[in-house]
Amino acid sequence: MAITEQEAVASLHLLVAVAQADGQIHEEEKKALGAALAGIEILEGTDIESFLGEKVDLSQEASLLTSTEAREETYRSAYGMAYADGDCSPEEKATLDRLQELLKVDAERAA
């Protein structure tokens, strides 16, 4: 089953939340988000800086991910985002833990 555009946008918002977690957006995170943003047709032309400045409601965005595929792929992407700069801060780790709970990703898959 393919991920819907709604799920793709929600997933991207969750990646923004991970990038924002430690209070700074690293260049590697910005590049990764820019590439992801470019891949979502309905967001074409959206300014990456304004997108990165948005406040994200984790619970609300996670609730939009209805398929198991979308939830698991989003968690994998969030994990990659947390380590994009080579280090996962405690704040990023806390956000990952919360996403694991909200997205109902079991511990074995999360590892």
Give me the tens of pLDDT residue by residue for the chain, a chain 111 residues long.
577 888 988 998 999 999 999 998 888 888 888 887 777 766 666 777 877 888 999 999 999 999 999 999 999 999 998 998 888 999 999 999 999 999 999 887 777
Helix, strand, coil: what percent of the chain each, to 5?
A: 65, 0, 35
Between CA 11 and CA 65 the distance in angstroms is 8
User: How is residue 83 annotated by DSSP?
Assistant: T
Torsion of CA 83, 42, 9, 34, to 10 degrees: 10
> Collapsing DSSP states into helix, strand and coil, what is residue 2?
coil
> Does the reported pTM lie above 0.75?
yes
Contact present, 104 and 71 (Cβ < 8 Å) = yes
Between CA 34 and CA 79 the distance in angstroms is 17
